Structure 1
Amino acid sequence: MSRIVFNMGWDAKTAQELISGCASESGEFEQRCFPDGETYLNVLSDVADRECVLLINGVQPDQQFLSWIYMAENLKELGATSVGMLIPYLPYMRQDIRFKPGECVTSRHFAKLISASFDWLITTDPHLHRYDALSEIYSIPTRIVPAAPAIARWIKQSVDNPVIIGPDIESQQWVQDVASLVGCSYEVLLKERSGDRDVSVSLPKRADFKGFTPVLVDDIISTGRTMANAVVNLIQCDMKAPVCIGVHPLFSDDCIALLKESGAQQVVSCNTLNHPSALIQLTEDWTEALSNQ
């Protein structure tokens, strides 16, 4: 029988495009909270002997996590042959080391809990900084759908004479891949962090970038402080107003306003999360990955 897909947080349009694109059936379920805050789940579709997929929005994971686990375990009890998750933004990847004594390395524990209830996972550009691969912490098969090809396509269509800039060393893997696909130069700046919201970013080294349009690329834009600092520095070097691109638009607080006030001409993101800035579409890429799963 065909695969059945349950939407647990994606915007309805993107979810339906993916479900139709991979010839799957849309699963029906009911979810609500009891007065005491506990979760009620009821799967209305027949899932016996069928492969099930959960489309999961990874923002605010603490508010949703138990629902993912309850859903996966319930589907298996109802006879599903397997349960996988397609979660474009994979949370709990940044705490990958114990920076201070006693800190919890949440990335490892989150991965262990997910691996216990799901059979496989598809995501996009997880924050692999101190891990070389997801297999270091996930014991289930994982697949990464890269955002670089879609970002490169958008830049080619939308930006004249681009140069790709990484706001910090952690962005190098995305910057290098995007620049290679666009066929242009790139540079990675250096960041010094004094606190969660106190960062400084180095100036570009290449003087011959002045005639180009700088495109700042990073995987996660959260507060926007690092990227805003980079925008200011680029403009001070007499470069054109930069375009800012984030793979995952977390955009907390006044992030968009901060970037615009710093001098960014445009703020763009991928549709790994539902946001008005998500002009870079990865739906076809996820559809292909799911079709081949």
Structure 2
Amino acid sequence: MQNSKARPLPRPVVIAMPGNEQLADELATLLWLERGAATVRRFPDGESYVRIASPVGARAALIVCTLDRPDDKLVPLLLLAKALREAGARSVGLVAPYLPYMRQDRCFQPGETISAQHVGAWISQCVDWLVTVDPHLHRIADLSQVYSVPSRVVHAAGSVAQWIRAHVREPLLIGPDEESAQWAGAVAKDAHAPFVVLSKVRRGDRDVEVSVPDLERWRSHTPVLVDDIVSTARTMIETVGHLRRAGLAAPVCVAVHAVFAQAAFDDLRTAGAGEIVSCDTIRHPSNRIPLAAAIAASLRTLLPEDAARVGRRAPRL
């Protein structure tokens, strides 16, 4: 008589692209995943080389790769996803805490292309699902408009608010522009703090003007600037200057995604910012807010049921 009990699925395997080892290790611990190995390097001519070095046959596989500075990462990522399929992986998912090209969501000048759609299509062709953290959704209402595979969005507001409650006295949450209103409002609600949103006019990549309302009533509070992405930091730098001239304390600056292009981080400190803090979606010295647990919680809805069941019993970091 045959045993009617279904054989449990093998443990999913998690593979880190270079620079993503810490998050892959944390997810493996939280979800009881097997840590896989892969070689990802460049040939002398600059072309990418990938090789799967762990058994992945009949397993669910997930790649961990945050996609800041994406042009150096996309080709090896896509090749790695193909290599996993060719090695027999049953499915291939992507954990990309930072998604690139989301701000290029419309044509601003004749002859431009909507990069968000094309990058989304490339990635969707190679993976079966996607998990990311607070993508920059402005004119794009939902990730499904640019990604054709199932996706989960992890929201950092709760983790940011928890850090603010623990480290900032009498916070006043400030969104440096209208696009940041959703982030500042969500964080302020969770932090039980008041918030205001400023107005911004952008004339170029590094030419930004910010208007600040009357903040006299908040003089006893600690201003906390919150934004989803800080790249050139020009918006925050302009805002910091206005707040300091208004007599407020040096503001705490919080970024979900610490892109910090070129000298932006040093420029922000020089402008008079107080503590500069970020979530760990992109590795940076400002990382103070870990998101592995939140990402793991979202991943449980995408992993095979056997793995998700075990993951719920896995130890917490």
Q: Which runs of 5+ in 2 are unaligned?
A: 1-9, 303-317
Q: Contact (CA 8 Å) 2:85, 2:92: kept in 1 or not?
A: yes
User: What SS does structure 1 have at the residue aligned with 2:44?
Assistant: coil
Q: 1:38 to 1:261 in 2, by over 3 A?
A: closer
For 1:253 and 1:34, locate their aligned partners in 2 and report how far apart those are by CA, in whole Å.
27
Note if 1:112 corresponds to 2:121: yes
Residue type matched to 1:203 in 2?
A: V
Residue type matched to 2:228 in 1?
A: D
Percent identity between the two aligned chains: 42
**Alignment counterpart, residue 82 of structure 2, candidates 73, 76, 87:** 73
User: For 1:31-70, what aligned pairs fall within 5 Å after superposition?
Assistant: 31-70=40-79
**Alignment counterpart, residue 155 of structure 2, candidates 124, 141, 146:** 146
Note if 1:231 corresponds to 2:266: no
TM-score, normalised via structure 2 length? 0.90
Residue type matched to 2:59 in 1?
A: R
Q: Which runs of 4+ in 1 moved over 6 A?
A: none
Note if 1:267 corresponds to 2:276: yes
Deviation at 1:62, TM superposition (A): 1.0
For 2:262 and 2:69, locate their aligned partners in 1 and report how far apart those are by CA, in whole Å.
14
Note if 1:207 corresponds to 2:207: no
Cα-to-partner distance string for 1:209-243 (whole Å, 9 max, x where unaligned): 11110000001111111101001111111211100
Moved more, 2-11 or 216-225: 2-11
User: What SS does structure 1 have at the residue aligned with 2:190?
Assistant: helix
1:186 is matched with 195
TM-score, normalised via structure 1 length? 0.97
Residue type matched to 1:214 in 2?
A: P
Deviation at 1:11, TM superposition (A): 4.1
Higher relative contact order (CA 8 A, sep 6+): 2
Deviation at 1:186, TM superposition (A): 0.5
Residue type matched to 1:74 in 2?
A: A
For 1:26 and 1:289, locate their aligned partners in 2 and report how far apart those are by CA, in whole Å.
19
**Alignment counterpart, residue 185 of structure 2, candidates 159, 176, 181:** 176
For 2:193 and 2:139, locate their aligned partners in 1 and report how far apart those are by CA, in whole Å.
28
Moved more, 24-33 or 215-224: 24-33
User: What SS does structure 2 have at the residue aligned with 1:68?
Assistant: helix
Q: Contact (CA 8 Å) 2:226, 2:253: kept in 1 or not?
A: yes
For 1:212 and 1:141, locate their aligned partners in 2 and report how far apart those are by CA, in whole Å.
42
Q: What's the Cα RMSD here?
A: 1.2
Note if 1:164 corresponds to 2:173: yes
User: What SS does structure 2 have at the residue aligned with 1:129?
Assistant: coil
User: What SS does structure 2 have at the residue aligned with 1:18?
Assistant: helix
Q: Which runs of 5+ in 1 are unaligned?
A: none
